[in-house]
Amino acid sequence: MERITIAALREMKRQARKIVAVVAWDAQMAAIAERAGVDMVSVGDSVGTNLWGRSEEAPVTIGEMLIVCKAVRRGVKRALLSCDVPSGSVEDAKRLVEEGGAEMVKVLASADRVRALVKAGIEVFAEFHGQRPVAELVSEAKALEAAGAAMLDFRHSGPEAGAAVANAVSIPVIGGLGGGPWLDGRVRMAHAAIGYAANWIDSGADTYANVAKTALQAFTELAADVRAGRQIRGQRG
């Protein structure tokens, strides 16, 4: 089983083959995504709000990110593993690589920040946002590439700016929020792709599955079996 490398992702861009990335926060979800053949798994610092139910005012710590990164690492054997660095510091990035097993770290874009991380021997996935003049976005993307960024996460790109940025740099440009087929690939939160959140139970949004609704039905049937004195399904031993 050949592992996906940053060089392999660059080659995919060169060949115009789209890169598939998912955001995951546990070993099981990461292993399932990898079995599906995704190219990259990203450990997002949005775990605090999207999985743990925190408010936006309660950011995750580096210690918490290490726990999640290590868990995902256990589920990933082939795909490239990236992990967010909430602080953006070199010290925290080193810990995620050395202790967490990340092969690349994601930080909010800044040429100086990227340069410092690259100087420390760390591969960087630089995040920057659109909704600005196209020329300004292209210039920023080129500056991040020149600083040593290995990949770009272009949020809210739009078809015009997204295509312009993707064509202006040699490194892969993928995106989640507001991205589209004009980029070199897409990154999607696994939980959103499969509808795994309580608010998806009554949602009419189009997803690839609705795990929340399936789980609700399963728990309802489990409760009915227990209350009726029946043996529960799937019990071992």
How much is the mean pLDDT over the chain?
94
Three-state SS string across 173-196, please?
A: EEECCCCCCCCCEEEEEHHHHCCC
Side chain identity at residue 203, one-letter code: S
Look at residue 225 in the predicted model and tell me its pLDDT: 95
Question: Which pLDDT belongs to residue 51?
Answer: 93
Q: Are 124 and 150 in contact (CB under 8 A)?
A: yes
Summarised one tens digit per residue, pLDDT across range 135-188 is 999 999 999 999 999 999 999 999 999 999 999 999 999 998 888 999 999 999
Q: Output the pTM of the full model.
A: 0.93
Angle, CA of 46, 48 and 52, to the nearest 5° = 130
Q: Domains in the chain, please, with CATH?
A: 6-191 (3.20.20.60), 194-237 (no CATH)
**Range with top average pLDDT, 90-94, 131-135, 203-207:** 90-94
